[in-house]
Amino acid sequence: MKLGLFDHMQKHDKPTLSYVELYKSHLEVLECADQAGMDFYFIAEHHFDMGFSECPSPGAFLGAASQRTKNIRLGPLVYVLPLWNPIRVAEEVALLDNLTQGRLECGFGAGIGPFTFAAYNIPWEQKREMTLEALQIIRGIWTHESFSFEGRYFKCKDIDSSIPLVQKPHPPLWMPTRSKDSIEEAASSGISTIQWVPAGMKAARRAFDEYREVYQRSRPVGPKPHIGLMREIYVAESDKQARTEGEFHWKNFWERRGGARTYGAHGSTGLSTILDGGRRGELMDMDHSIAEGSFICGAPETVVGQLKKIATEAGADTFLGEFTFGGLTQKQSLNSLRLFAEQVMPELRKFDIDALNFPKADA
């Protein structure tokens, strides 16, 4: 399996924690992951998120990260494309691909925060069409000496990027797939995909099965894309310790993400159609969440079993763990990451991903 970190960059209700210290602490976790030999680090882009997620500019943070790491592959997950000029994204990615010396991964998506769209004066109901149009421009700029485009939302004329990409034809792309259109776009183009917790494992499996079917039918050129699961994770010396220490932070996380505290006066987070009363109640039940594979929590040997189980159920070859969720202290997060690297990673590296029901491109 491929293994990595996902980072919401959470501050939560910590008024004594400065943003200087916040960013410094996340760079420290990233450095440890790099030294441990993890494959990926991805960071979210959120705006006006009231402490839940505090990286409005993933490119800026990844530029800093590029100078603090040597081997781990770095990327946004995602650039919220409707909020960006696609020409600017194409240029910034080229810069980051050079800063990372070809270690850049690049996630694109439509976004989940309606308040952010209102603040930027971007039409929320048109975000999917804007995303696909922006992606067409970005890829066109990367793969043509001179590129012109005129669409409903964006246009450009005779764009010739002066910064060459290190990776050809461009860095590997990722796209969360929450709709039929996004699944079709990602799978038919060979773009890696990722599923998070809210919709549950059955929904993740259905999305991945559809993705695999489209991929197999389309047979896009290029390396086989990744199918990934992202989960919050807490590893401790024993199951009892992990559950005792992790419960508050797991519940705190979902109080922030799924409840009024997250966006208060700003309205829906965009997950409201998924996190209805029933589903949110399930996630707030830590034991239920662990049992269904939404929360990875336990001693190293327990976590190995949990991850093998959800990877097999979903047919996933990649796991991204969020080690810095809730109000975990830096010491707790780093110890969890250390145990994962020392005792969990070696077992997962031996896991036979060819048995995970992912059809090979030449099958």
Residue 105 lies in a domain: yes
Q: Is residue 363 part of a domain?
A: no
CA distances from 299 to 116, 237, 242, 246 (A): 39, 5, 7, 12
Q: What is the pLDDT of residue 261?
A: 38
Q: Beta-carbon neighbour count of residue 42 at 10 Å? A: 25
Instruction: Please give the share of the chain, as a percent, with pLDDT higher than 70.
Output: 91
Q: CB burial class (10 A; 0-12, 13-18, 19+) of residue 349?
A: exposed
CA distance 62 to 268: 28
Q: Identify the CATH number of the domain in which residue 113 sits.
A: 3.20.20.30
Residue 57 within a domain = yes
> How many Å apart are CA 357 and CA 363, to the nearest integer?
12
- pLDDT of 257 reads 72
pLDDT at 128 over 60: yes
What the block records as the tokens of 57 is: 């500019």
362 lies in some domain: no
Which amino acid is present at 100?
A: T
Band of pLDDT at residue 361, cut at 50, 70 and 90: very low
Structural domain count, the chain: 1
pTM of the complete model = 0.93
Residue 360 lies in a domain: no
How far apart (Å, rounded) are the C-alpha atoms in residues 244 and 269?
29
pLDDT, one tens digit per residue, over 178-231 is 888 899 999 999 999 999 998 889 999 999 999 999 999 999 999 999 999 999
Q: Is residue 78 over pLDDT 70?
A: yes
CA–centroid distance for 168 within its chain = 23
What digits encode the pLDDT tens for the residues 250-298? 998 988 775 433 333 333 344 544 566 688 889 999 999 999 999 999 9
* In-domain check, residue 361: no
Domain housing 201 = 2-355
CB neighbour list of residue 206: distance below 8 Å, 6 or more residues apart? none
3-state helix, strand, coil in the chain (%, to 5): 50, 15, 35
Q: How far is CA 290 from CA 80, 197, 309, 338, in A?
A: 30, 11, 12, 21
Beta bridge partners of 106: 173
- Asked whether residue 229 is domain-assigned, the answer is yes
pLDDT range class, residue 112, cuts 50, 70, 90: confident
Residue 30 belongs to some domain of the structure: yes
What pLDDT sits at residue 100? 98
Site of tokens 């696609």: 86
